[in-house]
Chain A
Amino acid sequence: MTDRAIPPPYSPSDAGSAVAHGAAGSPPSPLVGDEREERGRRTAYECPPPHSRGGGAETAPERPPLRVRLALRDLDGVTLLALPAIVFVAALFVYPFLYGFVLSFEPKAGDWLANYRKFFSDPFLYDTIGATLWLAVPATVINVLLSVPVAMRVRYLQRRRVLTTILVVPITLGTVLIAEGLLNYLGPQGWFNRSLALVGLGPVRLVHNYTGVMLSLIMSGFPFTFLLTLSYVTGIDPSLEQAASTLGAKPRARFWHIILPLLAQGLAINLCLSFVQTFSVFPSAVLLGSPAGATRVISIAAYQAAYEQYDYSMASTVAMIMGFVQLIVVNLILSARALFYRGAVGGGKG
């Protein structure tokens, strides 16, 4: 893009451009000339003047050198700047994933499917999928469903930033700190149970069980889903709703017939992201839940295989199964989304 903005060096102003080069202090070297020639070819090759469209051979050579051909497809020195990042992600993300995939088929003992067979025949292992879904699905649905009406209210708020700042705090602190805080706050002697006692309700057991993990998933997950929904809701053109309002649509009708169809895409992505996050719950399931019982989630099984039994093959198997379940649910959400309206969220003019 950048070089193309330079005046084509083959034009009569070429001499002037060369003077500019000289004036800028760079001695005219053969390399500079070479480069300019190539650029000239490239320009000529890309946008041949209309009259020469038939016989382009006079402006463009039969077969330009490889460097030029690559540059025509936007593969030049600047593109190479992306290479370190691509190599890095390939080496430390793609390769480990493939390595783990292959490793999961090379069990310590037995044939290539032994790990998978072991996982799906041992209730101690395969029950973790159900336990994780039993936490992740309700938490995701609660978070996303609550985020919609709240975002609908908050979008007209004058000082929205105060609320969004407060909500960003639990996301930033992370699940470990939230778990430690909830252990204090929801514990039998904590402020929450004391407040309940004030209104005459008995102490409730909220930590070291399913409820504790669920509450921590809502506390750290709701701000995330809410901020995401808010950014989608504020992206919808308000004039669409105004038009409906002028035509007499009540708020409820406006929501169901205008906002919701436009929001469907955002909600689908939001559901996917929140589900994938809650499905990989780990620290709060250990600290706030009962890691040997109701909240023995799949990540605990993976962790135990890797760091307690030192069976990396089995750990990779569990990680692959975890990724596979996430993939299935994300696919389900996205195919359900296909049933809704698809299109622009802006008002536009025709």
Chain B
Amino acid sequence: MSRVTQDKSIGERLWAITIWALVIFFVVNVVATIAAVAVSSLGTRWFGAWLPAGFTMRWYILAWDEFQLNDVLIVTFQVVGAVVLFSGLIGVPAAYALARRNFPGKQFVIVLFLLPMMIPPITFGIPLATVLYQSHLGGSLSGVILANLVPTVPFVVLVMIPFIEQIDPRIEAAARVFGAGTGRLFLHVLIPLLTPGILAALLLVLVRTIAMFELTFFTAGPDSQTLVVALYYAVYAAGVRANQSIDAMAVVYMVTTLVWLLVALKFVDPTQIVTRVKREAH
């Protein structure tokens, strides 16, 4: 890409410096915010100083017991695993149908899939929780999983459509000529070819589900809380427990999320995490 000639007047340079200063200021504050949590979780006593008086790991042991992190982590992985599995199983075939067929009402179906991703979870979370509680699913693990699937199934569909459109239909035609039904076509032809796309979509679902607060918060009962909801309750009731043990829990949450984010970034561009809607919204 060739560059447009840049003017080097004083005003231009000042403007450029201002913009970069702004970016650096923002990044420094983000890093400091996250570091403050990490440092606090490792400190013995931290008051009226730049750094804690000493460093210890005991808050982690304390937090692990106090917040029953064992149970919370098990629930979190159950929810996330089920959401990833089901959104893949429901979403990928639907994406295939939408990519390969031009049936009447297809635009309507696309809009139907766009809405749960564009409408914020708070707005549809309360009616959804009401319906789930009335069908006796609210407050249970399956209720949390169902609620979390609402934005992720459309997400997988819309992310997968372009991946499927890239595959040459003649490959599928060849498989069909040799007698493969839709099931075998998926298993032996499409899934292997789509692995990078499925991996990217499901990893993004995974990261989003770990951090999905609102829907889990509205539908979770006492024994179906995920990590982020447990963290919210801990921060909400701050003062009951030592601040450092809340921070230790926050670090456990951060590590869980960021490890998967790092894995996800191997397969996707960071801008993909936010621009999923763009292509469709034109």
Residues of chain A touching chain B, judged by Cβ–Cβ distance below 8 Å, are 1-3, 5-6, 17, 20-21, 24-26, 73-86, 88-90, 92-97, 99-101, 103, 146, 149-150, 153-154, 156, 161, 163-185, 189-192, 194, 219, 222-224, 227-228, 230-232, 238, 241-242, 245, 250-251, 254, 265-266, 269, 273, 276-277, 279-280, 282-283, 286-287, 299, 302-303, 306, 312, 315-316, 318-319, 322-323, 326
- Do the beta carbons of B30 and A219 come within 8 Å of each other? yes
Does B101 belong to the interface (CB within 8 Å)? yes
Q: Which residues of B contact A176 (CB under 8 A)?
A: 213, 228, 231-232, 235
Q: Which residues of A contact B238 (CB under 8 A)?
A: 183
Counting from the closest, the 4 A-B pairs by CB-CB distance are A100-B127, A85-B94, A280-B120, A181-B33
- Do the beta carbons of A179 and B273 come within 8 Å of each other? no
Distance (whole angstroms) from the CB of A258 to the closest CB of chain B: 10
Distance (whole angstroms) from the CB of A302 to the closest CB of chain B: 6
- Do the beta carbons of B235 and A189 come within 8 Å of each other? no
User: Contact partner of A164 among B16, B47, B232, B271, CB < 8 A?
Assistant: B271
Q: Which residues of B contact A318 (CB under 8 A)?
A: 126
Q: Which residues of B contact A245 (CB under 8 A)?
A: 4-5
Q: Which residues of B contact A85 (CB under 8 A)?
A: 90-91, 93-94, 113, 153-154, 157
30 contacts between A and B (CB under 8 A): A2-B172, A5-B173, A6-B173, A21-B179, A25-B179, A74-B101, A80-B97, A81-B182, A85-B113, A86-B94, A92-B149, A93-B128, A93-B150, A96-B128, A100-B130, A172-B273, A181-B33, A189-B47, A224-B274, A227-B273, A227-B274, A228-B275, A230-B271, A238-B1, A238-B4, A242-B2, A269-B278, A276-B120, A287-B232, A319-B124
A82 to B141, CA, bound (A): 26
User: Contact partner of A3 among B6, B154, B176, CB < 8 A?
Assistant: B176
A232 to B271, CA, bound (A): 11
CB within 8 Å for A287 and B236 given contacts A84-B90, A85-B113, A173-B34: yes
Distance (whole angstroms) from the CB of B42 to the closest CB of chain A: 13
Q: Which residues of A contact B211 (CB under 8 A)?
A: 172-174
Q: Which residues of B contact A269 (CB under 8 A)?
A: 277-278, 281
A96 to B149, CA, bound (A): 14
Residue of B153, B170, B238 with most partner-chain A CB within 10 A: B153
Distance (whole angstroms) from the CB of B71 to the closest CB of chain A: 19
Distance (whole angstroms) from the CB of A231 to the closest CB of chain B: 5
Q: Which residues of A contact B265 (CB under 8 A)?
A: 165, 168
Distance (whole angstroms) from the CB of B268 to the closest CB of chain A: 10
A312 to B101, CA, bound (A): 41
- Do the beta carbons of B26 and A103 come within 8 Å of each other? no
- Do the beta carbons of A75 and B173 come within 8 Å of each other? no
- Do the beta carbons of A280 and B122 come within 8 Å of each other? yes
A238 to B6, CA, bound (A): 13
Residue of B12, B101, B218 with most partner-chain A CB within 10 A: B101
- Do the beta carbons of B146 and A92 come within 8 Å of each other? yes
- Do the beta carbons of B32 and A192 come within 8 Å of each other? yes
With both beta carbons as reference points, the residue of chain B lying nearest to A279 in the complex is identified as B120
- Do the beta carbons of A93 and B1 come within 8 Å of each other? no
Does B65 belong to the interface (CB within 8 Å)? no
CB within 8 Å for A228 and B274 given contacts A88-B90, A283-B232: yes
Q: Which residues of A contact B250 (CB under 8 A)?
A: 177, 180-181
B248-277 interface mask toward A, CB cutoff 8 Å, 1 = contact, 0 = none? 001001100110010001000111011101
Q: Which residues of B contact A21 (CB under 8 A)?
A: 179
Distance (whole angstroms) from the CB of A324 to the closest CB of chain B: 10
Does B240 belong to the interface (CB within 8 Å)? no
Q: Which residues of B contact A5 (CB under 8 A)?
A: 169-170, 173
With both beta carbons as reference points, the residue of chain A lying nearest to B282 in the complex is identified as A265
CB within 8 Å for A276 and B119 given contacts A164-B271, A306-B126: yes
A242 to B6, CA, bound (A): 11
- Do the beta carbons of A177 and B19 come within 8 Å of each other? no
Q: Which residues of B contact A82 (CB under 8 A)?
A: 93-94, 97-98, 109
With both beta carbons as reference points, the residue of chain B lying nearest to A186 in the complex is identified as B33
Which chain B residues numbered 79 to 129 have a C-beta less than 8 Å away from chain A? 90-91, 93-94, 96-98, 100-104, 109, 112-113, 115-116, 118-124, 126-129
CB within 8 Å for A88 and B149 given contacts A78-B182, A177-B253: yes
- Do the beta carbons of B261 and A172 come within 8 Å of each other? yes
Distance (whole angstroms) from the CB of A347 to the closest CB of chain B: 13
A281 to B127, CA, bound (A): 17
CB within 8 Å for A180 and B32 given contacts A228-B278, A315-B126: no
A4 to B255, CA, bound (A): 50
Distance (whole angstroms) from the CB of B234 to the closest CB of chain A: 9
With both beta carbons as reference points, the residue of chain B lying nearest to A220 in the complex is identified as B30
Which chain B residues numbered 5 to 21 have a C-beta less than 8 Å away from chain A? 5-7, 12, 15-16, 19-20
B208-251 interface mask toward A, CB cutoff 8 Å, 1 = contact, 0 = none? 00011110001000000000100110011010000100110010
CB within 8 Å for A94 and B34 given contacts A75-B103, A180-B247: no
CB within 8 Å for A169 and B123 given contacts A78-B96, A81-B182, A89-B113: no
Residue of B104, B121, B275 with most partner-chain A CB within 10 A: B275
- Do the beta carbons of A78 and B100 come within 8 Å of each other? yes
Residue of B12, B29, B253 with most partner-chain A CB within 10 A: B29
Distance (whole angstroms) from the CB of B252 to the closest CB of chain A: 11
A223 to B121, CA, bound (A): 19
- Do the beta carbons of B126 and A153 come within 8 Å of each other? no
Q: Which residues of B contact A222 (CB under 8 A)?
A: 26
